[in-house]
Structure 1
Amino acid sequence: MSAHPAFRPNDTAPRYTSYPTAPHFHAGLGGRALKAWLGHLPDGEPVSLYVHIPFCDRLCWFCACHTKQTRHYAPVEAYLNVLHQEIAAIGRLVGDRANVGALHFGGGSPTMLKPADLAALDRALRSAFTFANDIRISVEIDPNDMDEARLDALAAMGMTRASLGIQDFHPRVQEAINREQSFETTHAVVEGLRKRGVRSVNLDLLYGLPYQTTETLVLTLRQALMMHPDRLALFGYAHVPWFKKHQTMIDEASLPGSAARLMQSQTARDHILAQGYAPIGIDHFARPGDGLALAAANGTLRRNFQGYTDDRCATLIGLGPSSVSQFPQGYLQNSTATGEYMRLIRAHGLATVRGIELTDDDRMRRWIIERLMCDFAFSAEVLRKHFGPMAEEAISCAMTTAADQGAGLCEWNAGIFSITPEGRPFTRAIAAKFDRYLARGTARHSAAV
């Protein structure tokens, strides 16, 4: 299987967890905008929360997250004290007007927190915000961090979904990415979670890693499927050493080329589908009956900074350094550097430093790109219904794209622009055709496949 001739081997594209994407956020939108946008939340508005823990006790060389390694716990304790201040400040601005329906802990490694600190963080959040009775709480888990006390603490918090990073179980691949993690360790954590009543378990895998082959990836998949996950995520490794310097520790000569990445992706996908999982967007899979599978089937699948979601909240409030908040008005982001974030919180209670306010054109293109990333199609009739005459420019773009990429990748038929099954590995590159900002920017992106 080779790369499609419509795309160059080194084509890149954003991952489109937002539109406009984060490189186009700008200074000038800070605490004043955050206060104003929070102030416009309607009474009873359901919102989601994201809490960022920017520390790991080891640094995986493949990782592109905003995190740092620490061998001592004192910096984590100092950070948590400041995070509690931000939680209280945002809680005062929100008041009782909003109900939190979803809460996601990401990182970094949230599970490197001590059990007592997990409990204290839970109390702080519940004190500052009104939680819905059926709140969904998800946590990103590094299996190597876990012990019985942490499992008990997460269960006491009411965790409903756990997402465990695996990447690859092959020893040579693990050594090349500085991520040693056995199947036995991972399986024990999954069993511990289920014993404590966690209803949904997600496993994260990567393709395109150093020394990874299609055969070794399939072996990892077979081991992962032995744990009967409710969801699987299969991401392409994003090699961005200009953005994350520690990725220079990975020998680029050991990385599979574009054709090999495509083969890995397609073979793994076929293997997962053969086990009865439903495909979700470009890189997720779920058991039939899972919330993601239902959302994909009924057209309500969404995409945000945590990836694919069935969360329908229009507002996502980010807490912690680098976290992004999403509002109907636009996006706001906290300071990325942990030290600067802590200084701003101590001085002002808020750490918002950049963002972007959406134009009507942004909203239209965001809708198009989200539907392509989720449904692989959009309707001209629905686009016109939502956005009126301004939709005509995008419809013209769709017709042109279908003609230009007509080698079986996408098509225009009876007012529907759709990405064909053959074109789905190239969805990000096709969605980029509707991105008005991409040509203006200087940001570099990861491989599109």
Structure 2
Amino acid sequence: MTASAKPARALRRDIVTAIPGPRSQQLMERRHSVVARGVGSALSAYIEAASPGLLHDVDGNTLIDLGSGLGVTSVGNAAPEVAAAVREQASRLTHTCFLASPYEAYVDVCEELARLTPGGHEKRSVLLSTGAEAVENAVKIARAATGRSAVVALDHAYHGRTNLTLGLTARNAPFKQNFGPFTPDIHRIPASYPYRDPEGMTGEQAARRALEALDRQVGGENVAAVVVEPVQGEGGFIVPAAGFLPTLARWCQEHGALFVADEIQSGFCRTGAWFASEHEHVVPDLVVTAKAIAGGLPLSAVTGRAELMDAVQPGGFGGTFGGNPVACAAALASIRLMRDGDLAGRARHIGQVLFVRLGALAARHGALAEVRGRGAMVGVEIVRPDSDRPDAELASRIAAACQARGVLLLTAGTYGNVLRFLPSLVMPDALLSDALDVLEECCVQLIG
């Protein structure tokens, strides 16, 4: 070993210091003097490298990653094929701005999106940089195509942190507090939240409840778009009751509004299908994607019916970095990995493992009130004993205890009481099993 070489990193969970270790603590001190306090981090350890399903910190600890960069690194956060594509592209061309001088990779990604997104109709796409930017552009498209201005979102929704997307986002703290006023003519209707809806409420009934509110508050003739997460992410990994999404989609078709599927977190094999809309055979007018599309590089898109996308005048879309060639190369490599490795099938397998293990854990601990999700997008709702009152404090304690033992587990939910499981789709079974063993130990310690 040379003087500069580092020891080989563990390919299993391996904790050699307290978390955070001394080097991470030093970085934390530096951070406090230069990074704005509004930037949060769930983990106190600082990461310097990764392996499939693992994070290696600056102190030599190796943690199992159940967060995947908030659903970004589905193909792994150091996938060799993606890294190779990035290196090759960067050696030839890092940027020109497609608006100034175009390049083939942008077209290649749009062709893939036309093939992969639901529906056999002719499609067009625009490439952007972030999920929030893509949602904003979807709203622009809907308003241009329909000539209407009203936009409808669901309770418990999360669509981003820009001014318009904060208006669509339901939760106030910490996302919206002190940042208003927000973009006008945005309206909110009830979602389908099976655990907290009246017992026995069907998806069709939940949709009728929502649509009655929509008709009463807005009027169908004024609606440009209904923006929906097919599985609500930040709101608590909420899977709507069967029939809810198709009923909303039919209403949109009947009233000339666009059904916009925000597949930013649920897309690209995460739920066991290429897109979560497919589980209920819903074909959106517009599909918004980001996160897992490019293996960790910033890229997003809006893909939709050709006549709707082309309602926007030439020059109406833009953004200096949208569809950057390096990000496009990463996206093409990531999509190949998803297709060739059947990562949708892998997500279904991971989901089966999670539901069996977490279901057994919930049967022993009443605080784990519901296990829900699709594929490798699974949440566990934590409540107080003998009630359905959300217990955000216990959820946070469980997540912190797991992190101290080397498992990065995050929380979510309107009430902050949902444990969220977003493992990489290439995580080995042994690591997933070890992470769930750690969770079980922490539940025994904290709940009894």
Scaled by the length of structure 2, the TM-score of the pair is 0.32
Scaled by the length of structure 1, the TM-score of the pair is 0.32
Higher strand share: 1
